[in-house]
Amino acid sequence: MSPTMVEHSGLDIMCLNKYCHSSSSSSSSEHDKKVFSKLKQSLSGDYPRKNAEILSGQYGTNVLLIGASLMLAIAHHGPAVKEEHLLSFVTCLMILQLIWMMWYILVRDRQKNSRTEKDVHATTCWIRGGLTLLALLSLIMDAFRIGYYVGYQSCVSAVLGVYPVIHATHTIAQVHFLWFHIKDVIKSFETFERFGVIHAVFTNLLLWCNGVMSEAEHFLNNHKRRLSALGYGNLTIVHSEPHCNCTTSTCSMFSSSLYYLYPFNIEYHIFVSAMLFVMWKNIGRTIDLSSNQKRMATKTQGLTLGPILGLLALASTIGILVVYITHVEESLRMRQSAISMFYIYGMVMLVFMCSASASGLLIYRADHMPLDTSKNPSRQLDTELLFGSSIGSWLMSWCSIVAVLGTNSSPPYRWTNLIYSLLIVLEKYIQNLFIIESLYRQQEDTESEDPELPAAPEIFSVTSSLAPPYNGIINRAYETPDRTCVTMENEQEESGEVYRCPRKPSEVPLPVGNKVVDPPNIKRQILKNIAVFLLMCNISLWILPAFGCRPQYDNGLEQETFGFSIWTTVLNFAIPLNLFYRMHSVASLFEVFRRV
């Protein structure tokens, strides 16, 4: 419940009071005037929160949909809509966002004396650091784009030159915003700021879509080229090369390097938009201070098996990537053996990942602890994104399974593909459970001196905003402390809440020694190892499709069952989601690693 709401209801009652008196005593013209002034006042007043959310959310969605419809028109390669149109639209959006960010920063700077509330859960240093790295790679990409434009200057639209300049400015400004303002809880000009933030969210989402589209087209052209080379022929490859010669010697280098930088640019935009979305969710929120505490520092003792296995996975992944990319371009037999190799490697990885996640879940089952249900938009979004982005990969896997079961041809990798796809479904299923449970479990406070009551502060925190703190004190004046405790516990249980009485020191058995703290620590060390291992495995599984290892294009089984156009549509939808899933689970697993 926000303070605004309370104010509104107060206002409402006042108005009604006035109204009662006036209607019984005054004339109707005066009454009309009053109604009019009331109307005017209400229209200029703050909009209720739910409506402001819908209002701005709908605006953002429509901005994205305009971009999406332009992209669909471009995908047709018709004469009407060209890439320039989309780029100018995106450039306008970025300029708008720049203006808003400038305005926001200026306003904040002038209000410096009044402290802004911060939501510490909104992001971590690690994520911001990672994003800064991704932003740097994006800047390099912009530099390449500018270079490319300079080379072809005479025959390409000026938009192709303006776009990278604005994009670079946008990237720098946005990184500054991320470092200094992303945690802000906005409480002034709420409705206007909502529009600003959601505009930023959807501008980044559109930039993501744009990157995904460019990348998908690149892969599709590669795929068509391979099919033509294998004699399937008859597929038109659309080249978007300009119609003049490059004036510098580096144009082809620029355009081919771009595709190695795309994956980073894509991840950058989707992550920023997720973080801005959390900021949007936080607008006008009343932060519960008790749960808004800094986390403890990360401890790295006992980390051996996880990192070693993870590095092993990472190294073998890079090997597989190189072998796959070189082999898949060659003869049919080499191609088939490369695909088989990929599936076998994938199966080994996934079996390990499944068992790691499953043992993590088993540890949690053996160690009951209530979940932390306090409000936390960032965590909520993490959960939904994990779940939502799994859908792409699940759809792809089920399609593969249907294709394997339905096909008549029998390449050597038919059954390994089936098992691999089943494992992909299972692995995401278990990993999601593990990550979400880890994020929702209450953090144990290792600094606690009292091993008897490790759960007490957490139980309290769940309900601390609900439990009237004066209660005990008032009662205690009339009853003995012990009796109070009993009554309170009974009361709270009936109303569905529990909190513990502070025990008297004499009742608490003294800690027997350091030994008793060990076992949870062993559990925690295992969990930390699992998290690190899963993190590195997810990086591996991100690297493979991001840099061109996509057997779903190459194995031909699914294409036979679903046809070229349906299957490429599925892949164009599923692969970007899958890439995002892997990156997002890396970030979540890092969070898990720091929490356990």
Residues numbered 430-459 forming contacts with a second copy, rule: CB under 8 A? 432-433, 436-437, 440, 451-455, 458-459
Nearer to a second copy, 352 or 434 (CB): 434
Q: Which of 101, 135, 182, 401 binds a second copy (CB under 8 A)?
A: 401
> What is the rounded distance in angstroms from the CA atom of residue 294 to the CA atom of residue 54?
32
Beta-carbon contacts of 95 under 8 Å, excluding residues fewer than 6 positions away, are 166
> What is the rounded distance in angstroms from the CA atom of residue 405 to the CA atom of residue 414?
9
Site for a second copy in 458-477 (CB under 8 A): 458-459, 462-463, 465-471, 474-475
Angle, helix 190-229 to helix 49-75, in steps of 10 degrees = 20
Distances 169 to 105, 134, 257, 262 between C-alpha atoms, Å: 15, 15, 21, 18
508 binds a second copy (CB under 8 A): no
Nearer to a second copy, 148 or 562 (CB): 562
Nearer to a second copy, 310 or 576 (CB): 576
Nearer to a second copy, 263 or 360 (CB): 360
CA atoms within 13 A on the CB side of 429: 10
Three-class SS of residue 1? Answer: coil
Q: Which stretch binds a second copy (CB under 8 A): 107-115, 306-314, 541-549, 554-562?
A: 554-562
Site for a second copy in 406-435 (CB under 8 A): 406-408, 425, 429, 432-433
> What is the rounded distance in angstroms from the CA atom of residue 590 to the CA atom of residue 584?
10
Which residue, 357, 267, 308, 293, is CA-closest to 545?
A: 267
Are the CB atoms for 402 and 561 separated by under 8 Å? yes
> What is the rounded distance in angstroms from the CA atom of residue 30 to the CA atom of residue 48?
28
- State in angstroms the smallest separation of the CB of 121 from a second copy: 17
Are the CB atoms for 548 and 556 separated by under 8 Å? no
Nearer to a second copy, 72 or 315 (CB): 72
Instruction: Say how many residues touch a second copy, by CB under 8 A.
Output: 120
Q: Which of 27, 28, 50, 239 binds a second copy (CB under 8 A)?
A: 50
> What is the rounded distance in angstroms from the CA atom of residue 372 to the CA atom of residue 360?
18
Site string for a second copy, 65-104 (x = CB under 8 A): xx-xxx-xx-xx-xxxx---x-------------------
- State in angstroms the smallest separation of the CB of 592 from a second copy: 15
> What is the rounded distance in angstroms from the CA atom of residue 106 to the CA atom of residue 87?
28
Nearer to a second copy, 98 or 185 (CB): 185
> What is the rounded distance in angstroms from the CA atom of residue 322 to the CA atom of residue 544?
10
Nearer to a second copy, 323 or 402 (CB): 402
Site for a second copy in 330-389 (CB under 8 A): 362, 365-371, 373, 383, 387
Nearer to a second copy, 66 or 165 (CB): 66
Q: Which of 34, 55, 124, 218 binds a second copy (CB under 8 A)?
A: 55
Site string for a second copy, 559-578 (x = CB under 8 A): -xxxx-xx--xx--------
Q: Which stretch binds a second copy (CB under 8 A): 1-9, 92-100, 102-110, 320-328?
A: 1-9
DSSP H helices in 26-82:
28-44, 49-75
Nearer to a second copy, 249 or 565 (CB): 565
Q: Which stretch binds a second copy (CB under 8 A): 157-165, 196-204, 265-273, 555-563?
A: 555-563
Q: Which of 104, 163, 394, 581 binds a second copy (CB under 8 A)?
A: 394
> What is the rounded distance in angstroms from the CA atom of residue 242 to the CA atom of residue 249?
15
> What is the rounded distance in angstroms from the CA atom of residue 440 to the CA atom of residue 595?
10
Nearer to a second copy, 468 or 505 (CB): 468
Give the Cβ contact number of residue 277 at 10 Å. 22
Angle at 449 between CA 443 and CA 455, to 5 degrees: 35
- State in angstroms the smallest separation of the CB of 442 from a second copy: 9
513 binds a second copy (CB under 8 A): yes
Nearer to a second copy, 266 or 488 (CB): 488
- State in angstroms the smallest separation of the CB of 76 from a second copy: 4
451-458 long-range Cβ contacts below 8 angstroms, 24+ apart: 451/511, 451/516, 451/517, 452/508, 452/509, 452/511, 453/500, 453/503, 453/508, 454/520, 455/369, 455/370, 456/500, 458/369, 458/370, 458/372
Angle at 566 between CA 564 and CA 571, to 5 degrees: 90
DSSP H helices in 283-376:
305-327, 332-366
- State in angstroms the smallest separation of the CB of 386 from a second copy: 9
Site for a second copy in 18-47 (CB under 8 A): 19-20, 23-24, 35, 38-39, 42-43, 45
Site for a second copy in 272-291 (CB under 8 A): 286
Tokens of 71: 């992209």
Site for a second copy in 102-141 (CB under 8 A): none
Which residue, 215, 216, 233, is CA-closest to 224?
A: 233
Query: What region does 234 belong to: left with phi over 0, alpha with psi -120 to 50, or beta?
Result: left
Q: Which of 323, 351, 391, 419 binds a second copy (CB under 8 A)?
A: 391
402 binds a second copy (CB under 8 A): yes
> What is the rounded distance in angstroms from the CA atom of residue 212 to the CA atom of residue 302?
40
Nearer to a second copy, 123 or 559 (CB): 559
Element (H, E) at 118: strand 117-118
Nearer to a second copy, 152 or 394 (CB): 394
